[in-house]
Structure formats: C-alpha cells, structure tokens
C-alpha cells in the first residue's frame, strides 16, 4: 500500500574471479568461468556473485585484475592460476585485507590471507602411490627435474613407500632445462635396464614429475 514499508533488497557480496580469459590459457580460463557460473546457478540464489576479471595469464595482468576487482568492491578473490600470478596478486590483496583463494598447487604460496586450492605435488604423489598399491603395484619409479619440485616429489614418494611397507622406489633426476624428447628417451632407456631384473625389483608404475606445459 502507499507509504508502506518496503523490505530492503539484500546486497550480494562480490567475489573477484581472476582467470586468463585472453592469452595462451584463455580456453582453460573460459572453462573455469563456465564451471563457476554453473555452480552458482545450481546453488539457486546464494549471497554472493562472481565478478570475472581477465589476468591475461601473466603476473602483471593478474595484479591489475586483482586491483580492478578490489576497486569494484570484491571481498574475496578466487584465482589466479599459477604461482607467479598468485605472488603478484597477493601484494594488492594483502594491502586491502582481501583473502585470496588461488588455483595454484604451489604450497609455498600459502601465506597470510592466501590459501591455495590446488592439490600439491606431495598430495598427488601420495594419492598415486595409494591408487597404485590398490591395483597391485609394489614398486614405483619417479623421473623428475633436478630442482625443488623434483626433490619434494622424491621425498614424498620415499615416505609413502616406507609407510606402506613397499620397496624403496627408483628415482631418476634430469636437468630441469632438458628437452622433453631427450628426457623421455633417457628415462625409457634406464627403465628398460630393469626389465632384466627379478620381477619384484621392476617398477610397476612410473610417476613423471613434469608440468602440463612440457
């Protein structure tokens, strides 16, 4: 009725969605945005809305996207994809007191108000070992770049094998800058040498410690 009280329309909180909507990973970024929007639709009318911002797949682009989202009223940032982009985003986010939920699996990016959503390499290794053992695999092999990531994966593999009372794994490191084709050939040659070993000494699963880009 005229002059009656009207219920105020609740304002939905804004969540900045930092994705590479252009650049080399644009297809992946678009897929993630579609998945986010679908999840939002299935929730009905949640108390928040996604505000997509294009990172262009670069640290500089991610930092700019974060600033735009924050200036637009975002109270939380979801994304970006990589560790380098996350490091860039954390600076303006921390200054504004805004939490960040990046998709990176680099646990080193975890810090005050930054909580990575990705599965870490250590978690991936442990899951692979558990799945392999469930399928009857008793010995594992790892081929990984000689660096922090490779050493981390090797340590996780050895620990997982020890905890499950499995034989110690075969671990092969190679130069991080080596060409993928040469790496594959070298690893194949070394694994072929184990074919002449007793069956219990042969690895039943090879874990390759490489990124999707390679």
What is the predicted pLDDT for the residue at 75?
A: 94
- pLDDT tens sequence for the chain (214 residues): 455 555 555 577 899 999 999 999 999 999 999 988 887 777 765 688 899 999 999 999 999 999 999 999 999 999 999 999 999 999 999 999 999 999 988 878 888 889 988 878 888 899 999 999 999 999 999 988 888 888 989 999 999 999 999 999 989 888 877 776 666 667 666 666 665 566 556 788 888 876 555 5
| CATH code given to domain 121-208 | 3.40.50.2300
Domain with CATH 3.40.50.2300 in the chain: 13-109, 121-208
Give the number of other Cβ atoms within 10 Å of residue 119's Cβ: 11
What is the predicted pLDDT for the residue at 172?
A: 87
Contact 115, 100 (CB under 8 A): yes
What is the predicted pLDDT for the residue at 149?
A: 83
Would you tell me which CATH number, out of the four given (3.40.630.10, 3.40.50.10540, 3.40.50.2300, 3.30.750.24), belongs to the domain 13-109?
Answer: 3.40.50.2300
User: Which backbone phi and psi does 52 adopt, to 5 degrees?
Assistant: -65, 140
Residue 204 to residue 62: CA distance in whole angstroms: 41
What is the predicted pLDDT for the residue at 122?
A: 86
Match 């991936």 to its residue by tokens: 124
Angle at 168 between CA 167 and CA 169, to 5 degrees: 110
Residue 110 to residue 114: CA distance in whole angstroms: 5
Per the document, the length of the chain is 214
């Amino acid at each position: 009725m005229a002059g009656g009280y009207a219920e105020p329309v609740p304002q939905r909180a804004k969540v900045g969605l930092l994705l590479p909507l252009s650049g080399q990973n644009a297809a992946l970024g678009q897929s993630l945005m579609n998945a986010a929007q679908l999840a939002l639709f299935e929730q009905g009318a949640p108390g928040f809305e996604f505000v997509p911002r294009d990172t262009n797949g670069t640290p500089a682009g991610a930092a700019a996207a974060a600033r735009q989202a924050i200036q637009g009223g975002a109270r939380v940032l979801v994304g970006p994809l990589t560790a380098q982009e996350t490091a860039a985003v954390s600076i303006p986010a921390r200054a504004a007191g805004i939490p960040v939920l990046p998709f990176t699996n680099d646990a080193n990016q975890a810090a005050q108000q930054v909580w990575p959503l990705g599965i870490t390499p250590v978690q991936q290794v442990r899951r692979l070992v558990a799945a392999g053992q469930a399928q009857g695999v008793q010995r594992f092999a790892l081929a990984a770049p000689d660096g922090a990531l490779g050493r981390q994966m090797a340590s996780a593999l050895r620990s997982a094998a020890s905890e499950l009372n499995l034989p110690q794994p075969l671990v092969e490191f190679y130069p991080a800058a080596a060409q993928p084709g040469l790496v594959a050939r070298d690893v194949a040659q070394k694994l072929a040498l184990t074919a002449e070993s007793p069956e219990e000494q042969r690895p039943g699963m090879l874990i390759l410690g490489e990124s999707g880009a390679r």
